[in-house]
Amino acid sequence: MSPSTHLVVGPGAVGRLLALHLAAQAPVMLAGRRPLPVRQTLTTPEGESRTRQLVWLDVGHLPPLSPAFLHLTTKAYATEEAYETAMRSIPASTALVLWQNGYSVQPLLAGRHEGPVLCASTTEGAWLAGDDGVVHAGRGVTYVGDLDNRHAGLCRILAGSLTRVGLEAHAVDDIRTRLWHKLAINAAINPLAARFRIRNGQLRDRPFRVMVDRVINEVAAIMEAEGIAAPDMGWHRLVWNVVEATANNRASMLQDVLANRPTEREAILRPLLDAASRHGLVSPCLAGLDAPFGGK
């Protein structure tokens, strides 16, 4: 098998986006729980359609494989199961790449997996267009790193491969901080937008604005206690800039609630609430958001 083979487990928006890009330069296999058409179409942010034939595999019945990278692109709540299933068929030393938002599976699998565990934090935007297509809604940047900074070379190799196929990526030595910063943004926007079923921009209005600011204050206190450096622009500016830039968007958690799918609420709020309790902090707004609000 080619040393640059990629196995992508979780054939959703990010998984197909990744597979359809990487397939331009390297052997790619896409594995999931249910059959998908092997011909998949990528619609670019410019509206062009590109169709490619992918190798599709049933994750529950993988042949013995030795990919260079095992990308897990499921939602955070499904990642552990996908990992356990895929690892029945691939060597324990395989490099794992985690694409999830939040900060739940990253420390969990970094502590469990024998091989290198890389984390990818991406601002690429994608959504599924049925079983045979994915829309690349907006170009972003992907940062690749590992929590203990032991695999800088591998991070550079992966970032280089992604960049060459049109997904701008950089290897970084502060992925933990970046994951927490993204989690802070998601915690301030997603649960409120989902609970009140509003677009991101409506968070600027009363009564939501004050709720967002309270959540940011709680998140900032937790981050300080946890030793996560604040962004240069400060937590409030960081969050409000994203609200402005995504004013017309429905947050992913809201989309999940509207579609009656499970949400990533736990992967986003649990790490914050656990850190708060470790440091003896009281976070009533975050705790209040950590309750079911529709979806599953």
Question: Could you list the residues that contact ligand NAP (CB under 6 A)?
Answer: 9-15, 32-34, 59, 73-76, 78, 81-82, 85, 99-101, 122, 124-126, 128, 252, 264
CA atoms within 13 A on the CB side of 157: 14
Q: What is the DSSP letter of 284?
A: H
Q: Which two tokens stand for residue 250?
A: 């429905």
Residue identified by tokens 């994608």 is 126
User: Which CB atom, from 209 or from 266, has the smaller least distance to ligand NAP?
Assistant: 266
Nearer to ligand NAP, 40 or 101 (CB): 101
**Residue 112 CB, nearest approach to ligand NAP (Å):** 16
234: left (phi over 0), alpha (psi -120 to 50) or beta: left
Contact 239, 208 (CB under 8 A): no
Q: Would the CA dihedral through 66, 1, 9, 126 be positive or negative?
A: positive
Min separation Cβ 281 and ligand NAP, Å: 25
CB of 239 to ligand NAP, least distance (A): 17
Q: How far is the CB of 200 from ligand NAP (least distance, A)?
A: 14
Q: How many CA atoms lie within 13 A of 164 on its CB side?
A: 11
Q: Residue 39 or 278: which CB sits closer to ligand NAP?
A: 39
In the complex with ligand NAP, the residue whose CB is nearer, 99 or 235, is: 99
Shortest distance, position 191 Cβ to ligand NAP, whole Å:
14
The DSSP string of 141-187 is -EEEE-TTS--HHHHHHHHHHHHHTT--EEE-S-HHHHHHHHHHHHH
In the complex with ligand NAP, the residue whose CB is nearer, 11 or 116, is: 11
b/e per residue 133-172 (b: at least 16 CB within 10 A): bbbbbeeeebbbbbbeeebeebbebbbebbeeeebebebb
- Quick one: 178 or 209, whose CB is closer to ligand NAP? 178
Distance (Å) of CA 122 to CA 61, 118, 134, 150, 288: 29, 13, 16, 21, 28
Q: Residue with the closest Cβ to ligand NAP?
A: 12
Strand 117-122 and strand 142-145: the pairing is antiparallel
List the structure tokens of 1.
Answer: 């098998």
